[in-house]
Homo-oligomer: A and B are copies of this chain.
Amino acid sequence: MEILDKEEILKQFPQLEQPLMDELLKQSTLKTIEAGDEVMRTGQYIKSTILLLSGLLKVYREDDEGNEFLMYYLEPGNACALSMMCTARNEKSQIMAKAVTDVEVLLVPSHLSEMWLGKYKSWHNFVIASYRQRFEELLQTLDSIAFKGLDERLLFYLKRHVKVSGKEVRLSHQQIADELNSSREVISRLLKKLEQTGAITLHRNYLEVHDLEIV
A residues at B contact (CB < 8 Å): 61, 63, 65, 67, 69, 81, 85, 87, 89, 93, 95, 117-118, 121, 124, 128, 131-132, 134-136, 138-139, 141-143, 145-147, 181
Give the number of times this chain occurs in the complex, counting copies. 2
Residues of B within 8 A of A121 (CB): 118
Q: Are A142 and B143 in contact (CB under 8 A)?
A: no
Chain B residue with minimal CB distance to A84?
B128
CB A90 to nearest CB in B, in angstroms, measures: 12
Per DSSP, chain A at the interface is helix
Q: Are A61 and B139 in contact (CB under 8 A)?
A: yes
Residues of B within 8 A of A145 (CB): 142, 145-146
**Besides A95-B139, A118-B124, 20 other A-B contacts (C-beta < 8 A):** A61-B139, A61-B142, A61-B143, A63-B147, A65-B147, A67-B146, A67-B147, A81-B135, A85-B128, A87-B132, A87-B136, A93-B139, A93-B147, A118-B121, A124-B124, A138-B139, A138-B142, A142-B145, A145-B145, A147-B181
Residues of B within 8 A of A117 (CB): 124, 128
Q: Are A61 and B93 in contact (CB under 8 A)?
A: no
Task: Jot down 22 A-B pairs with beta carbons below 8 A, ordered by A.
Answer: A61-B139, A61-B143, A63-B147, A67-B146, A69-B146, A87-B136, A89-B136, A93-B139, A93-B147, A95-B139, A117-B124, A117-B128, A118-B121, A118-B124, A131-B135, A135-B135, A138-B139, A138-B142, A142-B142, A142-B145, A145-B146, A147-B181
Residues of B within 8 A of A69 (CB): 146
Residues of B within 8 A of A61 (CB): 139, 142-143, 146
CB A170 to nearest CB in B, in angstroms, measures: 25
